[in-house]
Amino acid sequence: MFATIKRLFRPGGPPAPGPVPAGVVPEPAPALAQAPALEPDPFDELWTLLTGVTPPPAPGLDGEEEALAEAIVPLVLARCEQSKPEPTAFPALAVQIIDLLNEPDLEINKLLKAIHPDPAISIHVLRAANSVLYSRGAESSDLRTAVMRIGLTGVGEIAAGVAGRALFDVELRVEYELFGRRWNDLFLNTMAVAFGASQFAFEQQMGNAGRAFQAGMFHDIGKTLALRALASLMISGEVPSPLPAAVVDEVLERVHVEVGFTLHRHWGLPDHLASICLHHHDPEISAALQHQDFHTLRMASGLHRLILAPGDTARLGELRQSIRATDMVRRNVRHLYGEMHKHVERVKVLFPS
């Protein structure tokens, strides 16, 4: 036995196999196991887009559509100037809740006291606590249990969204029918960006989560007022109806910054919110805007836009700019992108139409 072992481990290794006898077919050597092929990461394509060569701009409006948008823009601006909603149009309760979110040590009793008198908010919070997002089997039947399940910040953000939704609702059915679900989509997009900006600010310690949430809610508020103005012009016959969707999109993009900034000033909103509203599409960032709340909002908004329309690169430069300005690495951007996907679906559950 010992001699056999010595032969196996002697220099030169075990003896070579002898000749195969005639008529005997040798067994094939076992095939080496191949490692399973790795599936491509779907984020790779987006990361290449964010860090690679800037793609050519997507085709814009055709000549007729461009002329129509050019003619409509001044009409919308004039109508917005005539019909600015008063500060009371944004419910005082929403302002109060947003202010609470900025408190460093928000107490549950203080939040409950603010939201309990409003039945719509209470119903939404209870519904959210028992939804697939937060349910753990046992039903939440009272507001305090629901708040403990969702968390103070989450409840505050839901409550602010419910209280502020009045800005995205229309009183006349004809106004709603002109644009179908666009009214509701504006609200859901606003809330998804607000949730995303707030979460990213908190997780990455970039600025203030409460201010980031506010920026998400108010940076595109001009689109809501502009859409109301456009609906009014169409009903009165001053603008042709129906309008191509691309023309509506283009008009809102061209006017929403100016309209939104005017609304911020009219309502007396904080200067930092008005500044973000006015400059969030600027091609160059001034030194005064080199703060984390501004960049957090632009990253959440930019990724949200790419999620809804992957081929839309109209705001790609802004997103790249803020990623560079904050030294965001791939894993952090990937995380925000994944979370924004969740928020797009989350708001549909939290705020059903």
DSSP codes, 134-166: T--SS---SHHHHHHHH-HHHHHHHHHHHHHGG
Q: Which of 13-22, 77-86, 94-103, 240-249 has the lowest mean pLDDT?
A: 13-22
Could you tell me the two tokens for 112?
């409950």
Radius of gyration of the chain (CA): 29
pLDDT score, position 2: 44
User: CA-CA distances (angstroms) from residue 264 to 42, 185, 245, 270?
Assistant: 39, 22, 27, 8
Range(s) of the chain covered by CATH 1.10.3210.10 = 169-353
Is residue 6 pLDDT above 50, yes or no? Answer: no
Kindly report the backbone phi and psi dihedral angles of residue 144, in degrees, each rounded to the nearest multiple of 5, phi listed first. Answer: -65, -45
pTM confidence score? 0.81
pLDDT score, position 156: 84
d(CA 68, CA 51): 36
Could you tell me the two tokens for 350?
């939290």
Kindly report the backbone phi and psi dihedral angles of residue 40, in degrees, each rounded to the nearest multiple of 5, phi listed first. Answer: -65, 140
Exposure string for 52-84, b = 16+ CB within 10 A, e = fewer: eeeeeeeeebeeeeeebbeebbebbbebbeeee
pLDDT, tens only, 185-238: 999 999 999 999 999 998 888 888 888 998 999 999 999 999 999 999 999 999
Is residue 251 pLDDT above 70, yes or no? Answer: yes
d(CA 262, CA 241): 27
Could you check whether the bond before residue 242 is cis, i.e. omega within 30 degrees of 0? yes
Q: Provide CB contacts within 8 A for 47, sequence distance 6+.
A: 330, 333, 334
In terms of Cα–Cα distance, which of 157, 125, 130, 128 is closest to 143? 125
> pLDDT grade, residue 23 (50/70/90)?
low
> pLDDT grade, residue 338 (50/70/90)?
very high
CATH superfamily assigned to domain 169-353? Hypothetical protein af1432 (1.10.3210.10)
pLDDT, tens only, 137-177: 777 778 888 888 888 888 888 888 888 887 787 777 777 78
The residue whose two tokens read 């990461």 is: 41
